[in-house]
Structure 1
Amino acid sequence: MSGTKLSLADWQQQLGRADSKAETSSADGLVYSTDQGRIKTPATPAEPAKGFADGKLRLKRETKGRNGKAVITIAGITEGPQRLNEIAALLKKKCGCGGAVKDGVVEIQGDNRELIVAELEKLGYSCKWAGG
């Protein structure tokens, strides 16, 4: 056995298992290499969420898939991910609960409908209840 270190990509090439895309390590699924360390794929920029035609935000109370616990989802905010995180943080502080931003939709735990609508209207958004 030889004492030289060999990267995974080089080893695969020697065995003939590498694709024709061996030059780009992210294309062949390589995650870690002893030469370079962890290989990161370039992140694609997130697209801003699409708004609704009437320009209003949609607020929906959801319990499905959450063991019966209510969550208010806010969809239709057309601003970037940084602004979505700011809005979510503000609403979580005002409501005194948790929440998250997932796929351009702000989720706030609990059922604080009136408080959420009041805070969003202070920020200049018009809201509309969707669903039940």
Structure 2
Amino acid sequence: MDLQDQLKNLFPDHVPSEEDQKEEQSNVWLQDEPLLCKYEKRKGKPVTIIAGYNGADNDFKTLAKEIKTMLSVGGSFKNDEILIQGDYRDKIMDFLKKKGFNVKRVGG
């Protein structure tokens, strides 16, 4: 039983508005070219790098924050790249595909 079902049981007369029914839309500009998702080791530690975004820097920073929050890991935004601590290529690629991005895996 998810939260929506519990709310329906608590408030059977409530009619959800259109805003509640809308799916979460990405507020980030989508592009035609794929984002590059690659893995490197820097100073012996694994790092996942996402590059190739040609939209606004603020959108890319917002995307970086969403990824870091979803994975509960650290990371940063430097030189038009998102750096995520650890090897999370598969999870990040699935997340970006759900957001509507084209993603290309680079290396191994």
Give the TM bin, normalised by the shorter chain: 0.5 to 0.7
TM-score by length of 2: 0.67
For residues 39 and 33 of structure 2, what CA distance do their matches in structure 1 show?
Answer: 20
Does the Cα contact within 8 Å between 2:35 and 2:104 map onto a contact in 1? Answer: yes
**Map 1:18-97 → 2, pairs under 5 A:** 55-63=33-41, 66-97=42-73
Gaps of 5+ in 1: 1-50
Q: Which residue of 2 aligns with 1:128?
A: 104
Find the structure with the greater CA-based Rg: 1
- Cα distance, 1:60 vs. partner? 0.6
For residues 87 and 72 of structure 2, what CA distance do their matches in structure 1 show?
Answer: 11
State the one-letter code of the partner of 2:71.
Answer: C
Q: Which residue of 2 aligns with 1:118?
A: 94
1:31-53 per-residue CA deviation (whole Å, 9 max, x = no partner) reads: xxxxxxxxxxxxxxxxxxxx8xx
Q: Which residue of 2 aligns with 1:101?
A: 77
**Greater fraction strand:** 2
Identity %: 36
- Cα distance, 1:131 vs. partner? 2.0
TM-score by length of 1: 0.55
| Secondary structure in 1 matching 2:45 | coil
Q: Across the two proteins, how many residue pairs are aligned to each other?
A: 78
- Cα distance, 1:67 vs. partner? 2.2
For residues 91 and 57 of structure 2, what CA distance do their matches in structure 1 show?
Answer: 23
Task: Give the superposed CA RMSD.
Answer: 1.5
Does the Cα contact within 8 Å between 2:38 and 2:89 map onto a contact in 1? Answer: no
- Cα distance, 1:77 vs. partner? 1.0
For residues 90 and 59 of structure 2, what CA distance do their matches in structure 1 show?
Answer: 22
